[in-house]
Amino acid sequence: MFLSPFATEAVMTIEAAMTPEAPVIAPALEMRGITKRYPGVVANDHIDVEVRPGEIHALLGENGAGKTTLMNILYGLARPDEGVILLDGRETTIAGPSDAIARGINMVHQHFMLVPVFTVAENILLGEETMAGPIFLDRKEAHRRIVELGKRFGFEIDPEAKVGSLSVGWQQRVEILKALYRDARILVLDEPTAVLTPQETQEIFAVLRRLAQEGHSIVFISHKLYEVLDIADRITVIRRGKVVGQRLPSETDEDDLAALMVGRNVQLTVDRGDSKPADVALEVRGLEVKDDRGSVVVQGVDLDVRSGEILGIAGVAGNGQDELVEAIVGLRRPSGGRITLRGQDVTRASPRAVNEAGVAYVPADRHRFGLVLSFPLADNLVLTDYYRRPYARGVLRNDQAIEASAQERIREYDVRTPSATVRASTLSGGNQQKLVVAREFARDLALLVLDQPTRGLDVGSIEFIHRQTIAKRDAGTAVLLVSAELDEVLELSDRIAVMYRGRIVAIRDGRTADKNEIGLLMATGGQARAAAPVAETGPAA
């Protein structure tokens, strides 16, 4: 009945209907007994979820708990083996995304489903084109509607802007507009804040609250506890494909939710203890690095990382962090500046030379760079030193030594696997990353470079990797941590450097850093205080 976002009268009816004395309305969406089995796993095991009109309903669960499968079923991307979906109390089958859209269900995917070379208007129109006649698009009318929709939710958007040139925060808005343009009644957001700064997150939350007020139902998928507590009206927790509990934000807290989500009490924040920084291990001076297209994306970076400290680099993805890290580990040749490791110049050293100088590297993309997925675990564990004794005997492999060392490291780093001979591709994401960690951490290091070390991992694996990192630091290794997850940087770092458009715009002490300030610096580079000297906060010596 409130199909059109333009039908303000209908919206008012809903608001009236939601007052306490009104009769109970059927849930906007009900999923009943949803079961989905994949070979070897039950992704969803009789899941019941109910979303009321105008409600923000959070689905909380670890990666792999089955949230995404459930939403794919709702969106018609997967078929349930059992169970029914009810919309406004009526049973429905959803055979594909176009079915879902026709029934007012829209999804904002974790990885934006936007075409970067298209304009905002083209992206919004796609699949739901406003037509002038049977063949041609009516761009004028589309533009008018987009601008009007934007205004209603408090932002001005240029329909002719290329989506690729927008910030992620704005791309997120385009995704939401896309859903609203289709008269979405039920909006599913899959980890919508994963790539946003805290400020952008708050702005999106404001939009979501506005939408809920107008009667839209919102399903908010997340594994960030404080966000869920902040935005949701109700929270459903899923673990291993089952609903393990439902909570109201007023009756729960982060510890309770974490325990529900993981199934045991977890320590959400690893106690990092005090660092004992010693001599400078990594010294970067005036570093300039170009990206693949030849533009300078690291512009004169100065950094010191001392032995026994963790330096975290916070920044919105794509501000030169990847190139900086690649230059340090030797994968990318800098176009200017100097990199010194314990006094030795490694500016143009090969990756192997850097590795042999005591640098370990956990790359951001474990599938493409961290592991050879089609190799057995044992081979993956010797990727960096297969050519050395005892793993090599002349030109031949020493299989016994490789196997023995693999067994030991698998045990030590708690990699859950049937054996060391299975392919790396058979492991879960968390175990794959533990495998990378087992290879990189298991020797004496001068410098440990971590690029997004816990992206996409479950809480348990994150906890493990964080502990190992702290242990490495306490053993006197210098650690450089790059993460798009500001929380991770805040949690682990002894010092935090903020990177913005290829420059380090600020360095803050990790214990006293203010999350909002860092978020603002990430988003704006802190133009207001751009003049502040970069090295103002020295290491906590």
Partner 1 sequence: MDALINALYSIPLVGLVFQLGGYIIAVGPNVAPGILQAATPVALAALCGVMCERAGVVNIGIEGIMLTSAFVGWYAGVLLAPVLGTADLGPFGANPALVVALVIALVSGVLISWLHAWLSISVRADQIISGTIINIVAVGLTGYLNNLISKASPNGAGAFTQFKPPHELTDLPVVGWLLGMFLSQGPIAMSVIVIVVIFQVLLFRSRWGLRSRAVGEHPRAAETVGIDVIRVRYRNVLIGGVFAALGGAYLSMEATNSFQQEMTTGRGFVGLAAMIVGRWSPVGAFGAALLFYSSTALGNSIKFARPSGDLGTILVGLPAQLYDALPYLLTIIILAGVVGRSIPPAADGQPYEREATA
| Whole-angstrom distance, CA of residue 541 vs CA of residue 532 | 21
Q: Please, what is the minimum distance in Å from the beta carbon of residue 279 to partner 1?
A: 45
Q: Does 318 help bind partner 1 (rule: CB under 8 A)?
A: no
**Helix/strand/coil for 14:** helix
Q: Of the ranges 111-119, 190-198, 296-304, 514-522, which one interacts with partner 1 (CB under 8 A)?
A: 111-119
User: Maximum CA pair distance of the chain?
Assistant: 84
Which C-beta is closer to partner 1: that of 142 or that of 325? Answer: 142
| Whole-angstrom distance, CA of residue 384 vs CA of residue 355 | 8
Q: Name residues whose C-beta falls within 8 Å of residue 48's C-beta, 6 or more positions apart in sequence.
A: 30, 31, 32, 33, 34, 243
Q: Please, what is the minimum distance in Å from the beta carbon of residue 102 to partner 1?
A: 8
Q: Please, what is the minimum distance in Å from the beta carbon of residue 523 to partner 1?
A: 25
Which C-beta is closer to partner 1: that of 69 or that of 433? Answer: 69
Q: Does 15 help bind partner 1 (rule: CB under 8 A)?
A: no
Helix axes 429-441, 459-474, angle to 10 degrees: 10
Q: Sign of the CA dihedral 148, 149, 155, 160?
A: negative
Q: Does 387 help bind partner 1 (rule: CB under 8 A)?
A: no
Q: Does 127 help bind partner 1 (rule: CB under 8 A)?
A: yes
Which C-beta is closer to partner 1: that of 96 or that of 390? Answer: 96
State the virtual CA torsion across 120, 125, 127, 130 in degrees, nearest 10. Answer: -170
Q: Of the ranges 96-104, 237-245, 267-275, 387-395, which one interacts with partner 1 (CB under 8 A)?
A: 96-104
Determine contact, residues 349/330, Cβ cutoff 8 Å: yes
Interface with partner 1 (CB under 8 A), residue from 10, 25, 42, 137: 137
Q: Name residues whose C-beta falls within 8 Å of residue 400's C-beta, 6 or more positions apart in sequence.
A: none
Interface with partner 1 (CB under 8 A), residue from 44, 72, 217, 432: 72
Number of residues located near partner 1, criterion CB under 8 A:
32
**Residue among 324, 331, 326 at smallest CA distance from 500:** 324
Which C-beta is closer to partner 1: that of 37 or that of 397? Answer: 37
Q: Please, what is the minimum distance in Å from the beta carbon of residue 292 to partner 1?
A: 12
| Whole-angstrom distance, CA of residue 108 vs CA of residue 195 | 13
Applying the rule CB under 8 A, the residues between 164 and 193 that interact with partner 1 are 178
Interface with partner 1 (CB under 8 A), residue from 34, 49, 114, 499: 114
Q: Please, what is the minimum distance in Å from the beta carbon of residue 98 to partner 1?
A: 3
Burial letters 412-438, b for 16+ CB under 10 A, else e:
ebebebeebeeebeebebbbbbbbbbb
Q: Please, what is the minimum distance in Å from the beta carbon of residue 99 to partner 1?
A: 8
Q: Of the ranges 113-121, 144-152, 319-327, 340-348, which one interacts with partner 1 (CB under 8 A)?
A: 113-121
Q: Please, what is the minimum distance in Å from the beta carbon of residue 137 to partner 1?
A: 6
**Residue among 498, 501, 531, 504 at smallest CA distance from 516:** 498
Interface with partner 1 (CB under 8 A), residue from 84, 126, 248, 471: 126
Q: Please, what is the minimum distance in Å from the beta carbon of residue 71 to partner 1?
A: 11
Task: Report DSSP letters for 514-527, one per residue.
Answer: -HHHHHHHHHH--G
Helix H segments across 182-275?
Answer: 198-213, 225-231, 254-262
Where do contacts with partner 1 occur on this chain (CB under 8 A)? Answer: 38, 72, 75, 77-79, 96-101, 107, 109, 113-118, 122-123, 125-129, 131, 135-137, 178
